[in-house]
């Protein structure tokens, strides 16, 4: 990897364009997204220099294998974020077909099919001349982890955060989930974020009920509708974009707290209330 100068400032239109092409100016990797199952996103990251290709989660072996064939890439590793079936279903078949290595969260390693290596907070994984960091992000599942490539400002967040939304609290307490979202919100604003599901349009319908006067949110909802009409994915997003628009990242913001009548509440309590409302939202 060559050392880059100051990173160009990206507009949201640049992000959308780069997301579709899978190429970001100055980044040595090519990133490919395939929507499979219902709204799972299979993400492949390819390093042309080394020939390595990693999959973030493996929702569907056939869909991923087809994409690898189309691209002419050889899968070298699967990095699982958590143990849910729609993230590990393709593990065994892809490993059998490609001989790839499978890495997954130490907190739920026994539930990750065909796993070779378990990782937790602070562990690093070598990839294409750079390093992938592991962050523990409990809440959706207690063992959930996020993979981050600091050198490229990239993060793969699984089912912790979605664009305009967040994962359901399946196992953890709301406090744990809020802590994990706060950890992601503290990453650099320009961090490019790939999520485990493309459910932005659904999330947006709820988000506007929480902050009907948030103009950044309204603009994002319109953009997402336009992308959907064209049949294009609505992610990646950025931490900065989510800080401005995602109600679940905004539980500490006075404007949001006032909008839902919880001006004096702690952020974790506001987050828990938002999650309850979303769970009950039709």
Please list, in sequence order, all residues whose beta carbon lies within 8 angstroms of the beta carbon of residue 43, skipping any fewer than 6 positions away: 31, 32, 33, 55, 56, 57, 156, 194
**Piece of the chain touching Zn ion by CB under 5 A; list 155-163, 198-206, 211-219, 244-252:** 155-163
- Shortest gap between Cβ of 177 and Zn ion (angstroms)? 12
Name the residue nearer to Zn ion (CB basis): 28 or 59.
59
Cα–Cα distance, 234 to 229 (Å, whole number): 11
Name the residue nearer to Zn ion (CB basis): 134 or 169.
169
- Shortest gap between Cβ of 15 and Zn ion (angstroms)? 25
- Shortest gap between Cβ of 154 and Zn ion (angstroms)? 20
Name the residue nearer to Zn ion (CB basis): 84 or 257.
84
Name the residue nearer to Zn ion (CB basis): 84 or 275.
84
Please list, in sequence order, all residues whose beta carbon lies within 8 angstroms of the beta carbon of residue 134, skipping any fewer than 6 positions away: 119, 120, 121, 122, 123, 124, 125, 145, 146, 147, 148
Name the residue nearer to Zn ion (CB basis): 46 or 84.
84
Name the residue nearer to Zn ion (CB basis): 28 or 196.
196
**Piece of the chain touching Zn ion by CB under 5 A; list 33-41, 68-76, 153-161, 202-210:** 153-161
Report which of 241, 198, 205 is spatially closest to residue 221, judged by C-alpha positions. Answer: 205
Interactions with Zn ion, residue window 158-187 (CB under 5 A): 159
Backbone angles phi, psi at 67, to 5 degrees: -65, -40
- Shortest gap between Cβ of 180 and Zn ion (angstroms)? 13
Six-digit token string for 216: 């950044």
Six-digit token string for 132: 């992938």
Number of residues that bind Zn ion (CB under 5 A): 2
Backbone angles phi, psi at 85, to 5 degrees: -55, -40
* Beta carbons of 104 and 112 less than 8 angstroms apart: yes
Report which of 260, 251, 263, 248 is spatially closest to residue 213, judged by C-alpha positions. Answer: 260
**Piece of the chain touching Zn ion by CB under 5 A; list 106-114, 151-159, 228-236, 240-248:** 151-159
Residue nearest to Zn ion (CB): 84
Candidate list 46, 83, 84, 250; residue touching Zn ion; CB under 5 A = 84
Positions in the binding site for Zn ion (CB under 5 A): 84, 159
């Amino acid at each position: 990897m060559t050392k880059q100068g100051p990173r160009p400032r990206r507009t949201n239109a640049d992000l959308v364009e780069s997301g579709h092409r899978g190429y970001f100016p100055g980044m040595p990797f090519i990133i490919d997204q395939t929507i499979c199952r219902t709204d799972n996103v299979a993400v492949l990251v390819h390093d042309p220099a080394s020939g390595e290709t990693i999959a973030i989660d493996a929702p569907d072996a056939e869909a991923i294998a087809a994409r690898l064939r189309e691209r002419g890439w050889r899968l070298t590793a699967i990095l699982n974020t958590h143990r849910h079936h729609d993230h590990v279903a393709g593990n065994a078949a892809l490993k059998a077909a490609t001989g790839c290595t499978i890495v997954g969260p130490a907190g739920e390693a026994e539930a990750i099919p065909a796993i070779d290596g378990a990782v937790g907070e602070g562990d690093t994984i070598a990839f294409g001349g750079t390093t992938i960091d592991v962050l523990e992000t409990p809440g959706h599942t207690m063992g959930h982890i996020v993979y981050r490539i600091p050198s490229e400002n990239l993060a793969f967040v699984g089912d912790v955060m979605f664009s305009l939304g967040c994962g359901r609290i399946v196992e953890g307490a709301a406090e744990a989930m809020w802590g994990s979202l706060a950890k992601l919100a503290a990453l650099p604003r320009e961090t490019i974020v790939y999520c485990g599901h493309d459910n932005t349009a659904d999330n947006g319908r709820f988000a506007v009920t929480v902050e009907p006067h948030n103009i950044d949110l309204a603009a994002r909802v319109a953009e997402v509708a336009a992308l959907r009409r064209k049949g294009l994915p609505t992610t990646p997003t950025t931490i900065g974009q989510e800080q401005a628009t995602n109600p679940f990242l905004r539980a500490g913001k006075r404007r949001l707290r006032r909008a839902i009548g919880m001006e004096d509440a702690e952020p974790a309590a506001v987050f828990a209330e938002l999650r309850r409302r979303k769970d009950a939202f039709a």
